[in-house]
A and B are shown apart, each in its own frame.
Chain A
C-alpha cells in the first residue's frame, strides 16, 4: 500500500489540500491543533504530529506567522527521508529568508519545496481546473507532489528554482495588495496595468538578488498568480488592499480580508533589503511608508507617476 500524504494545518488551505489529494486517490493524514472531522473517508484527522512520521510527503500549510513554532514541533518527528513542501506566501525578516530556508534550518528535512501559483483554498477544494507550480531542487519532491495532487483538474508544473518560486509567490501578494488599493481608489485599467507590470519588474529585481531566476517571475508563480488574483479568484490580498484604501487600520483591514498583517508588513522588509543592496523598489518603499502613515495615497501616487520613465 502506498504511503499516506501528510498535511500540516487544519485551516481552509490545509483542508483544501487534503481534499485535492484525496480526490486523486491518496490516503491523507491531516494534522490540526483542534480536533476536526472531514466527511471524506480517505482523510484521517489527527492532533498528534508524531502520526505524520508515517508519511513520506508532508504538505505544510501553516500561516507564515506560525511557521517557526510549528516547524520546531514537527521537526521532532521527522528525519532526512521526509519530503517537506510548504504553501506559505511569507518571507522572514529583513534578509527575506524564505519559508523553505526556515524549514531546512528548524527541522531535519533537507528535501524541501514550495507549492505556489494560482492556488486558493476554494478552487483547490472544488474540481475547478487550475494549475500550480512546485519549486524544488530535488526530483523526488517534484515527483511526489505531482503524484499527490496532480490530476485532471490540477496541472502541476515544476522548476528547480525554489527561491524564485517563494520570492515570486510572496511578492505577488504585495503587488496584489497594491492593486486592490488602487482599484478601491478608482484607478483605471491603464494605471492598474502599469502598477502590475512595474510591480512584477520590482519583484523580479528583488528575487534575482536573492538568487531567483527572472523567468520564474514571468511564469505561473509570478505573472500567472497575479492574473488569477486580478481576475477575481477571491485572493485576500486584493481585499486587504481595498480595506486599507477605505481607511481601515492594518488590523481591521486584515480581519476584514481574512488575511494576516504580515502580508502588508512585507513591504517594509523588502524596502529594507533593497536599500542594503542599493536596488530601487519604489512600490515597496512607497507602500511601507504608506503603512507607517508617513505619506498619503495622493503623495504616493504622485511620486510613482512622476518617476522618470526609463527603458523597460
Chain B
C-alpha cells in the first residue's frame, strides 16, 4: 500500500533517452533518481541512529498522519489510517531492528513520493507549445497562428532584466539556486519560460501539492523536475526528507528554484520575512561538498517577478485581510484554477506593454558575498576570497547544522534587501499607491480596516491626480538612479495621462466585479480600497521617499510605511 498520495502521470518509456554532452545537467536526472532517493533514506537513517529517536519519529509521524487522514473521507484514507493506528499500537513492542526497518520503509515511501521526474520529451514539447498556448490565451482570435508561433508574442509580454550572461556563465561552474519573489501561481510557468528563452538551464523545484490538483498542470510540473511538497503532511520526518532531498540534489549540481517567501505574498508586498528552510540547504550542500573535497560553488540568484496585474489578486488580499487568514495557507479554489480568469487576465494588457517583468539580481555566494563574472567570491574590498573558509575551522572544512542555520538566517537578510532593490515598479502599482495615499490623507486617524470601508466615496480631481502621479514617478526615477529600486519602461517613459488611462483600462476588464477605480465627471473615484491596497503594497517601503514635501503627504506616507508593523 502506498502511504502517500499517488504519483502523477508519466509518459511510457519506449526507449531510454541518452542525454547529449551539451544537454543541461537536469537531463541526467532520471538516471540518478533512484540513487538520490537511496541517499536521502541513508541520511535520514543516519540521523535517527538512536532507538529512542526512531521511536519518537515513528510516533510523531503516526500522530500527524492520523490527524490529517481523519479529515479525509475516502476508502484510501481509511486504509492508511488503519496502517498508522497499527504503528501507534505496535511501536512500543517493536524490537530495535523492527523500528529501524519500519522507519526505513516509511522514509523510502515518503522520499519516492517527493522525488521529481524529468522527461526530456515533455520538456521539448512544453518549450515548443506552452508559449503558444499562453499567447493564444492572450489573443484567442489568432489561436491557430499563436499555437504554431506563440513565442514571439510572449516575448513582448514577459520581459527579462539583469545579469543574464553572468548567470549563464556561473551555471557552468557551480550550482545555481534561484530564489524569486512569489506573488502568483503563474510564477513557476513564467520563470520556466524565461529560463528557456534566455538559454538558462531548467531547474529542479519544489511545488506545493495544490499545484498538482489540476491534472494537466500536474503532468507538466511533475515531468519537468518539480518535486512535491505537501504542506498538509506535518510529520517532522517529512520535513527532514524534503531538506535532505533538496540538499542531495544541490550537492549533485542540479540547479534549483525555491520561493523563500514560502507562499504567495498575500498582501502584494515584497516579502521581507523569508523562510529559507529549503533554500538554506544550499549552504549545507556547499559545506558537504567541501568536506568531501569537492569544489562546487553554490550561487544564490535573487529575482523579482513583477506583474502589472496579479491573476489571484482578489483572493490573496481578501485572505490577507481576514483575521483567520493564516489558517487558509493552501488555497485551492482561487483564480488560478479558473480558465476564464486566465483568458480575461491575459487579454487586459494591450495598453501596458509588459504583463510581467522578471528581474534577476546580482548573484551571491552562500555567505552573502557578491561573486564576479568567473564565479569567484569577493570580499567588501574586492579581493577574491575562498568561500570554503566559511565552513572551515583551522583549515578543515566540516558540516555543522547550527553554524549553517546561522549562515542561512544571515542570507535571509541579504535576500530581503536584494528583493527591495530589484523590485520593478509597474504602472498599476504606481497609480494604486498615489490613489491610496490620497485615501489615507482623506481619512486621518482611522485604522486600516476603517479606511478599507471607504468604497467609492473618495474622489480625486483628475488634474491633481495626474500631477501627483508625475511627481511621484519622478521621485521613483530618482530612487532608481540611486540604486534603490527599478521602474518599468512604461512608467519611466510615458506621460501621467497615458499611465493613468492604461492602468484604468487594464483594471476595468480584469477586476470586473467591482472596478478598482473609475473616472467620473473629470474626477477619479476610488472604488475598491482592498485592491488598491494590494497593488500599492509593493511600494510600501518607499512611501516616505516618494511622497510630496507637504506635511499631509508625508504623514500619509509614514502611515503607509508603518502598516507593515500591523498584523
Contacts and interface: CB of A to CB of B under 8 A. Distances in A.
A105 B380 contact: yes
B558 A276 contact: yes
B369 A108 contact: yes
B514 interface: no
B368 to A, nearest CB: 7
A137 B410 CA distance: 10
B392 A81 contact: yes
A106 B380 contact: yes
B409 interface: yes
Interface stretch (B104-112, B254-262, B399-407, B521-529): B399-407
Given A277-B565, A278-B562, A137 B390 contact: no
Contacts of B402: 137-139
Contact of B379 (A108, A111, A276, A277): A108
B565 A56 contact: no
A146 to B, nearest CB: 15
A82 B27 CA distance: 40
A56 B393 contact: yes
Contacts of B227: none
Given A81-B392, A139-B400, A107 B380 contact: yes
Nearest to A278: B562
Interface string B368-391: 110000000001110101111111
B333 to A, nearest CB: 36
Contacts of B389: 79-81
B390 to A, nearest CB: 3
**Chain A interface SS verdict (over half):** loop
Contacts of A104: 410
Interface in B387-436: 387-395, 400, 402-403, 405-407, 409-410
A292 interface: no
A160 B403 CA distance: 11
B541 to A, nearest CB: 12
Contacts of A277: 562, 565
Given A105-B380, A108-B380, A80 B562 contact: no
A98 to B, nearest CB: 12
A108 B364 CA distance: 13
Contacts of A139: 400, 402-403
A30 B541 CA distance: 44
A75 B403 contact: no
A140 B403 CA distance: 8
A81 B565 contact: no
B291 to A, nearest CB: 15
Contacts of B386: 79-80
Contacts of A107: 379-380
Contacts of B367: 80, 110
A108 B387 CA distance: 10
B121 to A, nearest CB: 44
Contacts of B390: 80-81, 110-111
The size class of the interface chain A forms with chain B is: 20 to 34
B108 to A, nearest CB: 33
Most chain B C-beta atoms within 10 Å of own C-beta, residue among A105, A110, A138: A110
A137 B409 contact: yes
Contacts of B379: 75, 79, 107-108
Contacts of B394: 3, 56, 81
B385 A137 contact: no
Contacts of A278: 562, 565
Interface in B339-372: 367-369
A76 interface: yes
A140 B385 contact: no
A111 to B, nearest CB: 8
Contacts of B558: 276
B411 to A, nearest CB: 10
B383 A110 contact: no
A138 B390 CA distance: 11
A138 B562 contact: no
A106 B410 CA distance: 15
Contacts of B380: 72, 75, 105-108
A277 B386 CA distance: 40
Interface in A116-145: 137-140
A79 B385 contact: yes
Contacts of A111: 390, 403, 406
Nearest to A139: B402
Contacts of B368: 110
Interface in A67-93: 72, 75-76, 79-81
Nearest to A137: B406
A107 B385 CA distance: 11
Contacts of A80: 367, 385-392
Most chain A C-beta atoms within 10 Å of own C-beta, residue among B392, B393, B406, B409: B406
A92 to B, nearest CB: 16
Most chain B C-beta atoms within 10 Å of own C-beta, residue among A72, A79, A278: A79
A125 B400 CA distance: 35
B547 to A, nearest CB: 14
Contacts of A3: 394
A104 B413 CA distance: 12
A83 to B, nearest CB: 9
Contacts of A79: 379, 385-386, 389
A75 B367 CA distance: 15
A76 B403 contact: no
Contacts of A106: 380
A138 B400 CA distance: 10
A72 B380 CA distance: 8
Given A160-B406, A276-B558, 5 more contacts: A110-B368, A111-B406, A137-B409, A139-B403, A276-B561
29 contacts: A3-B394, A56-B394, A72-B380, A72-B381, A76-B381, A76-B383, A79-B379, A80-B367, A80-B387, A80-B390, A81-B389, A81-B390, A81-B393, A81-B394, A81-B395, A104-B410, A105-B380, A106-B380, A107-B379, A108-B369, A110-B367, A138-B402, A138-B403, A139-B400, A139-B403, A140-B393, A140-B400, A276-B558, A276-B561
Per CB-CB distance, the 5 closest pairs between chain A and chain B, nearest first, are A80-B390, A80-B389, A137-B406, A108-B379, A81-B389
